[in-house]
Amino acid sequence: MLRRNLMLAVALGATLLSGAAYAADPVSIVYIPKNTGNPYFDSIIKGFEDGCKTLGCEFTTVAPASAEATSQIPFVTAQIQRGVNVVAISPNSPDALNQVFDRARAKGTIILSVNSDMPGNETHRDAAILPVDFTKTGPSQVELLGKQIGYEGEIAILSATTDAPDQNVWIAAMKETLEKDPKYAKMKLVTIAYGDDDPQKSTTETEALLANYPNLKGIISPTTVGVAAAAQVVETAKKADKVKVVGLGTPNQMRRFIENGTVEAFQLWSPYNQGLLAANFAVGVKNGTIKNEAGTVFEVPGLGKVTVEKDSVIKTQADLTTFDKTNIADFNF
């Protein structure tokens, strides 16, 4: 009896000790999204939380009320004061945070830019976690539409604004794919419309497309506002069987159109995976198991092998995620 008690005490003591040693320095990570109340960022946060559950890191998230360029600065300063190891942030400005990042890094805090990078100011952060390999966005969208219309017929693009940098890069890639790849030789791009990422204008532009091009077979809208508006117009006009809509959209916006068959499939990436990857990378770099330099390959459970590219850029996934009837129920953002 006594011996049993002793053993229990020893075992308890051992657990306590190891527990204490473990708790002494879990890596602490804070994530600062652009602003509060955006389901897209809630998905990234969920990824961080699940990652930290398995890795044993401490995770918190704080966010400013507005996405104004300087609104995140006091939060970064407060986190340095709290002594967190890693600040992951979706910066509201490519350069307004430079000074405060420099100070954080001088005190040993690791700065990760999540979801978007800081073009031209890469030296002020430690690494950038981006959603997807954006060079594949254009070709991938063309293929998604081509498959649905039998690689034949007139198609149109509904973009954001005329000078939206991301969209213009993707559209250029779409044009190139259509011209160069013989597989798409019978698909003809008739026009590019600009909805300015405004639901009303996007709706009007789509209506004009349907009126002006009666033989139109498909619309690609590589912007979340545009693709939802286009789907709505096609649904109202009852032309879902004649005109296929594809694009980049979020599952919550597009769920209704997928469920009622207006849209067969659309694409995006998984913000959840970005959070998961960022948590793994942060802990690895802090503990010295992952080297933050170009060429490093590391494994993320559930995502496979990931490579650190030039300028410490990490792309979460190579290909876009395609959402359709079979998987849309799994996503909520």
Partner 1 sequence: MTSIDKNPVAPRVIVREAAAPRPRWQVWLIRPEVVTLLLLVIAAIVATRLSPFFADLGFILESSTYYIEFAIVALVLTIVIISGEIDLSPAAQMALSACLFGTAFKAGAPIPVAMGVSLLSGLVMGAFNGFFVTVLRLPSIIVTIGTLILYRGLAQVLAGDKSISGFPGWFVGIDYRMVGIVPVPVLVFIAASILLGLFLGITIYGRQIYQIGTSEIAAIHAGIRVRRIKMGLFIASGLTSSIAGLMVASRLGSVRYDLATGGELTMVLIVMLGGTYIFGGRGSILGTFLAAWLLVIIATGMTVANIAINAQLTIMGLLLIVSIIATNAIYARSQR
Residues at the interface with partner 1 (CB under 8 A): 36, 60, 62-66, 68-70, 73-75, 77-78, 81-83, 93-96, 98-99, 103
The nearest distance, CB 170 to partner 1, in angstroms, is 19
Half-sphere exposure of 10 (CA within 13 A, CB side): 6
Question: Cα–chain-centroid distance for residue 314?
Answer: 12
Instruction: From residue 216, give the alpha-carbon distance in Å to each of 153, 190, 205, 257.
Output: 7, 9, 14, 19
For β-strands 216-221 and 187-194, DSSP reports them as: unpaired
32, 75 contact by CB (below 8 A): yes
Q: Between 99 and 327, whose beta carbon lies closer to partner 1?
A: 99
The nearest distance, CB 27 to partner 1, in angstroms, is 17
For residue 210, give the nearest of 228, 193, 188, 185 by alpha carbon. Answer: 193
197, 249 contact by CB (below 8 A): no
The nearest distance, CB 65 to partner 1, in angstroms, is 5
96, 73 contact by CB (below 8 A): yes
Alpha helices in the chain (DSSP H): 2-24, 39-55, 73-82, 98-106, 137-149, 165-180, 199-212, 224-236, 251-259, 271-287
Q: Between 99 and 287, whose beta carbon lies closer to partner 1?
A: 99
Q: Between 53 and 82, whose beta carbon lies closer to partner 1?
A: 82
The nearest distance, CB 277 to partner 1, in angstroms, is 24
Q: Between 1 and 24, whose beta carbon lies closer to partner 1?
A: 24
The nearest distance, CB 35 to partner 1, in angstroms, is 8
Q: Between 160 and 320, whose beta carbon lies closer to partner 1?
A: 160
The nearest distance, CB 279 to partner 1, in angstroms, is 18
Instruction: From residue 282, give the alpha-carbon distance in Å to each of 29, 38, 56, 276.
Output: 8, 23, 12, 10
Rounded CA gap, 312 and 293, in Å?
A: 6
Q: Between 69 and 208, whose beta carbon lies closer to partner 1?
A: 69
Q: Between 40 and 75, whose beta carbon lies closer to partner 1?
A: 75
Q: Between 95 and 176, whose beta carbon lies closer to partner 1?
A: 95
The SS3 call for residue 177 is helix
Question: Cα–chain-centroid distance for residue 4?
Answer: 54
The nearest distance, CB 80 to partner 1, in angstroms, is 9
The set of residues, in sequence order, having a beta carbon less than 8 Å from that of 329 and lying 6+ positions away, is none
The nearest distance, CB 139 to partner 1, in angstroms, is 28
